[in-house]
């Protein structure tokens, strides 16, 4: 693992990757951080787990099992794990299933997503996400590489520049299976209580926390 000389160097690194292929960014990340890196995957599609595992077979891939995922997503996670021999680490909440999502979505995401992710990242130097600028206006300025001050580590978004078309092309080229929900109007897939189908052309994340003043679960804020 190579230490970055200065956290401000990350801005220059990020800028240098604006036109780079995601595989190039992942290769840099693996070279920098070795085994001290974790890939966090939502499994709404198979691109990031497949790509990361192709760049470094056996790289640790984390899935946050909130205990409120759609059955289709749980099937998809297992299908990708089995098909590509993923080194999958499933994180579960410390809390038992409850009704908190009905009245306190911030607290529920905190217990079922943020805390398990932070636990998964303990002792790591960097994490990789599938965040894309095209996901939502709130993500339009997401850097490719940045310092995650809240977690005291580097955060890498190798797909930041990718569009839904890029995802479709990569998935087709590599014969990836799809989350069955994708063709049923779910371009962004979270927990079943907080995710609805959207109309074609709508903001992909507009089906998340519908009717609430909430757009992010807290992993990226
Ligand atoms: Fe809870 Fe909904 Fe957040 Fe899932 S998305 S952790 S059910 S509040």
Report pLDDT digits (tens) over 120-130: 999 999 999 99
CB 62 within 8 A of CB 38: yes
pLDDT band, very low/low/confident/very high, at 2 (cuts 50, 70, 90):
very low
Q: What is the pLDDT of residues 13-44, one digit of tens each?
A: 999 999 999 999 999 999 999 999 999 999 99
Best residue for ligand 1 mutational test, from 193, 207, 214, 218 (most atoms within 8 Å of Cβ):
193
In percent, the amount of the chain with pLDDT more than 70 equals 96
Q: Tell me: pLDDT of 6 over 70.
A: no
Give the count of beta carbons closer than 10 Å to the beta carbon of residue 205: 19
**Model confidence over 162-198: pLDDT tens digits?**
999 999 999 999 999 999 999 999 988 999 999 999 9
Cα 211 to ligand 1 centroid, rounded to whole Å: 14
Task: List residues bridging with 154 in a β-sheet.
Answer: 126, 147
Q: What is the pLDDT of residue 1?
A: 45
104 CA: nearest ligand 1 atom: 8
What is the distance between the alpha carbons of residues 221 and 216, in angstroms, rounded to a whole number?
7
pLDDT at 189: 92
Give the separation between CA 206 and CA 156, rounded to whole angstroms: 24
Contact assessment for residue 196 and residue 207, using Cβ atoms and an 8 Å cutoff: yes
Separation between Cα atoms, residue 158 and residue 144, nearest integer Å: 6
Nearest residue to 135 (alpha-carbon basis) of 215, 194, 76: 215
Residue 5 has pLDDT above 70, yes or no: no
Q: Sorting pLDDT into bands at 50, 70 and 90, what band is 4? A: low
- The least confident of 43-52, 62-71, 178-187 is 178-187
Q: Is residue 212 predicted with pLDDT exceeding 90?
A: no
Ligand 1, atom 1: closest residue by C-alpha: 108
Tokens of 23: 């595989």
Catalytic-residue membership of 217: yes
From atom 2 of ligand 1, which residue's Cα is the shortest distance away?
194
Q: What is the DSSP string of 74-93?
A: HHHHHHHHHHHT-EEEEE--
SS3 176: coil
- Nearest ligand 1 atom, CA 190: 5
Predicted confidence band of residue 140 (pLDDT cuts 50, 70, 90)? very high
Question: What is the C-alpha separation between 7 and 10, in angstroms, rounded?
Answer: 6
Which residue, chain included where needed, has tokens 């190039």?
A: 24
- Other beta carbons within 10 angstroms of residue 75's beta carbon come to 15
Question: Quick one: pLDDT at residue 99?
Answer: 93
Whole-number Å distance, alpha carbon 180 to ligand 1 midpoint, is 20
């Amino acid at each position: 693992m190579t230490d970055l000389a200065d956290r401000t160097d990350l801005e220059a690194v990020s800028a240098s990757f604006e036109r780079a292929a995601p595989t190039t960014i992942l290769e840099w990340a693996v070279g920098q951080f070795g085994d001290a890196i974790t890939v966090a995957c939502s499994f709404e599609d198979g691109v990031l787990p497949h790509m990361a595992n192709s760049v470094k077979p056996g790289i640790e891939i984390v899935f946050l099992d909130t205990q409120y995922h759609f059955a289709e997503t749980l099937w998809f996670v297992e299908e990708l794990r089995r098909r590509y021999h993923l080194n999958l680490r499933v994180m579960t909440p410390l809390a038992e299933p409850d009704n908190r999502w009905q009245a306190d979505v911030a607290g529920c995401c905190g217990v079922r997503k943020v805390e398990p992710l932070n636990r998964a990242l303990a002792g790591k130097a960097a994490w990789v996400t599938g965040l894309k600028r095209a996901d939502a206006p709130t993500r339009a300025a997401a850097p490719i590489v940045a310092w995650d001050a809240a977690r005291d580590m580097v955060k890498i978004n190798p797909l930041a520049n990718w569009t839904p078309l890029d995802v479709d092309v990569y998935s087709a080229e590599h014969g990836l299976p799809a989350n069955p929900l994708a063709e049923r109007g779910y371009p962004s897939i979270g927990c079943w209580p907080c995710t609805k189908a959207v109309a074609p052309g709508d903001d992909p994340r507009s089906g998340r926390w519908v009717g609430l003043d909430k757009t992010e679960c807290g992993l990226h804020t």
